[in-house]
Amino acid sequence: MTKFSRRGLLTIALLAASAAPVGAQTRDVSLFKVVTVKDEVVIGLSTAELAALGGNDAGAVAKALTSKGTLTVWQYAVRKAANGDLEQAPHAKIGLIAHDSLRVEPYVTPLKVIAHE
């Protein structure tokens, strides 16, 4: 298994620090987009989960993934609420595996974000 280089982690941390997600945060959940060579996925982490990772931004998520090698997180997707409004909600629990070409960035959405359990 490969690891992020120090330069790659610094780049991710600087990008994450310079981006200020506005709509993606709720009181309980922060959304992030994980981008790989093949695809991208939106994940949500609670305030407690982010604290356990040692931070509250994309850099902390990337650093935790690099140090642990894998993370289990909730994938988020758009769905219709009972009243017909669109919302960003937990879809499935997935595993992420660290890779050199993986990127984590804040995800901004104008939709209501539903907290996972």
Q: What is the pLDDT of residues 23-71, one digit of tens each?
A: 444 568 999 999 998 899 999 999 999 999 999 999 999 999 999 999 9
Q: What is the pLDDT of residues 28-38, one digit of tens each?
A: 899 999 999 88
Residues 6+ apart with CB under 8 A from 109: 23, 24, 31, 88
Write down the pLDDT at residue 27. 65
* Domain boundaries of the chain, sorted by first residue: 6-111
Mean pLDDT of the chain: 82
Q: Is residue 3's pLDDT more than 80? A: no
Q: Is residue 15's pLDDT more than 70? A: no
Bridge-partner residues for 46, per DSSP? 29
Q: Which helix (H) or strand (E) holds 9?
A: helix 6-18
